[in-house]
Amino acid sequence: MNIISANDVRFYYETEEEAGGRPLLVLDDIRLDIERGEFVALLGHNGSGKSTLAKHFNAMLLPSGGRVLVSGMDTKDEKLRYEIRRMVGMVLQNPDNQLVSTIVEEDVAFGPENLGVSPKEIRRRVDEALKTVGMLEYSDHAPHKLSGGQKQRVAIAGILAMRPDCIVLDEPTAMLDPQGRKEVLETVFRLNKEQGITVVLITHYMEEAVLADRVLVMEEGRILIQGTPREVFSRVDELRGVELDVPQPTELCHELRMQGVPLPEGILTAEECAQALSMFLEAAHVGH
Amino acid sequence: MSVIETRNLNYTYSPGTPFRRDAIKDISIKIDNGDFIGIIGHTGSGKSTLVQHLNGLLRPASGQVFLNGKDIWEHPKKIREVRFQVGLVFQYPEHQLFEETSYKDIAFGPSNMGLDADEIDARVRRAAKFVGLREELLQKSPFELSGGEKRRVAIAGVMAMQPQVLILDEPTAGLDPKGRDTILGQIKEYQQENGSTVIVVSHSMEDIARCAKKVLVMNRGRIEMFDQTPAVFSRADELGAIGLSVPAVTRIFMILRARGYDVGDNVYTVEQARDRLLPLLKKGGDA
């Protein structure tokens, strides 16, 4: 069953008079269904429309044309907006812009408080959410003293406390160091696999996209390529054409294939690449 | 001769309070004129604290910093001049743009140096060219520009001071792959054309591998390694132990070597890997 459906979604930004006053088309007839429990990675260079699309998933933006349905609810229906935002939570790029309180547990309680959840239930949810993201021992700490990765995990806990069905993350690791990126990614991956929460992850890091069930590549407001990570990353030339990277092992295999070495397509990790190369090196009697 | 040298540099945040934290400990390094240095280390390892000592933004608790052989704190009132010679571009420098136009923002540094109007104009245009800012963007408000363009205005502002040493703290953070490549390419070009010393702080091993000749690895406020790039990247296990990871192609070569294939080491870009593997693989094809 679909948790999010975008049906022919178009979106314009109104521009100022001096710029000619013509509306700027950012999303161009997007048709997309995201299934419950799916892990979708959304790629595309800056300005390709991926953040604009993501903001449609919890009614932060409303389509200029077409419809977005969240579990069957039309995002244009104002009466459903609270329920839609509870169901689809959003984590943004800058961890400093989304924590509102001076104590970690209060920050996590902010969402459920606004939903009118009873104090006893809030207590339970906050502890559970902090435990899930591995931050329970920090519940009485000040958020501004945490590392970037820890802040992002608190932000995720704040959404979990609202018992969402889906989490949309807009470049949640762009400002983090490798350790922080790993913490956040592992948390997101676990939520998806263990709790069945649908994940939409916008990222510039190809090694993060590799974890997804499905990868979507956006370009000029359209979905240009989609498929499993293996399918998408085997299209190296097209990805480069839209200014995206591919994982290094994939790129290396592609380069060697171009030179006539018949390596298989769809290699994503260093281990797979080394395995494939071993067979060819064996055949070439290198070092054995 | 070393353009920058530090001797037994120590710095502590919030000394005398319960929040006291040693940020850097006993740092002694020499950086030669014209070097391109990459500094890596996880968050809190002391990278940013170290570079802020190199232009006198932070004053060491103990130890000394030398610029062209002179202690920069010998005359504390002249520390401003050190900042003209050692230009520092902060993390997310676009947050610090403030002028009405990009042109004025880039001109701010050179104006403070007391240069005449013609010289300032020449420097602004030269710096803008280095970072690839189109002429028409110069008269726009920096706030009308895209994130990547803003970042380039901020970098140009420091380049326009024509510092002997240019330091950039995470210049590619938060950019998309294209923006990352562009900015790194421009920094590299700037370094080659001016022969100036460049220091780049980064989390990205791939970025460092692509541009730096030498790498300084920081861990818990101390220097873990400081050596030529290939020598540092060959110590993948040690890097892994302190939470850093080598580029994926480097790992591929490590696995192959571990399996007994004689493919050599010192590979950290896709191009190097391809050029190393092709002759080996082709040999088999011809046999």
Q: Please list the residue range(s) of chain B that carry CATH number 3.40.50.300.
A: 2-233
How far is A203 from A197, CA to CA, in rounded Å?
18
- Nearest-neighbour CA in chain A from B150: distance (Å): 14
Specify the fold of A2-228. Rossmann fold (3.40.50)
For all residues of chain A together, what is the average pLDDT?
91
Tokens of residue A197, six digits? 């929460």
Distance between CA B276 and CA A200 in Å, rounded? 39
Per-residue pLDDT reduced to its tens digit, A107-126? 999 999 988 899 999 999 99
Q: How far is CA A273 from CA A265, B255, B271, in A?
A: 10, 10, 15
List A246's β-bridge partners, or say none. Answer: none
Q: Nearest CA of chain B to the CA of A207: how many Å?
A: 10
Domain ranges of chain A: 2-228, 247-288
What's the angle, vertex CA B82, arms to CA B76 and CA B83, rounded to 5? 110
Residues in chain B predicted with pLDDT less than 70, given as ranges, are: 283-287
d(CA B38, CA B167): 10
* Nearest-angstrom CA–CA distance, B232 and B39: 11
In this complex, do A180 and B43 lie within 8 Å of one another by their Cβ atoms? yes
Q: CB–CB of A244 and B278 under 8 A?
A: no
Residues of B in contact with A240 (CB under 8 A): none
What sign does the CA torsion over B233, A268, A41, A241 have? Answer: positive
A178 vs B: CB within 8 A: yes
ipTM: 0.73
CA–CA separation, A191 vs A189, rounded Å?
6
Backbone angle region of A29, left / alpha / beta, with phi > 0 → left and psi within -120 to 50 → alpha: left
Neighbours of B11 (CB within 10 A): 23
Residue A87 and residue A71 in contact, taking contact as beta carbons nearer than 8 Å: yes
Alpha-carbon distance values, B33 to A255, B37, B40, B54 (Å): 37, 11, 20, 14
Cβ separation B277–A277 shorter than 8 A: yes
Residue bearing the bigger pLDDT, A93 or B28: B28
What CA–CA distance (Å, rounded) separates A246 from A31?
A: 25
From chain B, pick out residues whose CB is under 8 angstroms from the CB of A177: 42-43, 203
CB-CB neighbors (< 8 A) of A245 in chain B: 177
CA distance B23 to chain A (A): 15
**Using one digit for the tens of pLDDT, what is the confidence trace for A140-156?**
999 988 888 889 999 99
What is the predicted pLDDT for the residue at B15? 86
- Nearest CA to B3 out of B199, B184, B270 is that of B199
Backbone dihedral angles phi then psi of residue A214, each to the nearest 5 degrees: -140, 140
The verdict on A96 touching B (C-beta cutoff 8 Å) is no
Residue (of A273, A243, A246) closest to A261 by Cα position: A273
**Chain B residue at shortest CA distance from A256:** B274
pLDDT digits (tens, 9 = 90+) for A230-241: 999 989 999 988
Sequential DSSP letters for B18-42: TT-EEEEEEEEEEEETT-EEEEE--
Gap between the Cα atoms of B140 and B49, Å rounded:
34
Size of interface A-B (CB pairs under 8 A): 121
Determine the pLDDT at residue A18: 57
Could you say which architecture CATH assigns to the domain B2-233?
3-Layer(aba) Sandwich (3.40)
Confidence at residue A186, expressed as pLDDT on a 0 to 100 scale: 92
Q: Give residue A17's pLDDT.
A: 60
Lowest mean pLDDT among A135-149, A158-172, A212-226: A135-149
Q: Given pLDDT bands bounded at 50, 70 and 90, which one contains residue A10?
A: very high
Shortest CA gap B279–chain A (Å): 10
Q: Determine the Cα–Cα distance for residues A41 and A172; give it in Å rounded to an integer.
A: 12
Question: Beta strands A88-91 and A73-74: pairing type?
Answer: unpaired
Query: Chain B partners of A270 at a C-beta cutoff of 8 Å?
Result: 248-249, 251-252, 255
**Which of B252, B253, B254, B280 to mutate to probe the A interface, most A CBs <10 Å?**
B252
